[in-house]
């Protein structure tokens, strides 16, 4: 069973994810239908960043995962060699 602090951290992560999802959805789905001179545009980055930011984040995440797998595989190989 999760402790109170684990639950608080989990709820914080869920809330942050929901906020990011809502912001991104409004940015990519709703904003193109709003006039360019409307005041709501000042709260969002230019539209090209809607593609650039997730792409860079995906590349960084996949690189980190690949590096971790490579590190674990090398450590396992070193342990087998030591025996």
Average pLDDT over residues 3-21: 94
Per-residue burial over 6-19, b = 16 or more CB atoms within 10 Å of its CB, e = otherwise: eeeeeeeeeeeeee
Looking at the chain, the whole-number percentage of residues with pLDDT higher than 90 is 82
* Residue 2 confidence (pLDDT): 74
SS3 per-residue string spanning the chain = CCCHHHHHHHHHHHHHHHHHHHHHHHHHHHHHHCCCCCHHHHHCCCCCHHHHHHHHHHHHHHHHHHHHHHHHHHHHHHHHHHC
Q: Would you kindly state where each structural domain of the chain is located, as residue ranges?
A: 1-44, 46-82
pLDDT at 1 over 80: no
Q: What is the pLDDT of residues 46-66, one digit of tens each?
A: 999 999 999 999 999 999 999
């Amino acid at each position: 069973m999760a402790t109170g602090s684990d639950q608080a951290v989990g709820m914080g992560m869920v809330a942050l994810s929901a906020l990011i999802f809502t912001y991104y959805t409004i940015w990519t789905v709703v904003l193109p239908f709003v006039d360019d001179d409307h005041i709501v545009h000042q709260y969002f980055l230019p539209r090209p960043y809607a593609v650039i930011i997730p792409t860079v984040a995906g590349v960084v995440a996949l690189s980190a995962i690949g590096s971790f797998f490579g590190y674990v595989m090398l450590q396992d190989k070193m342990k087998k060699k030591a025996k």
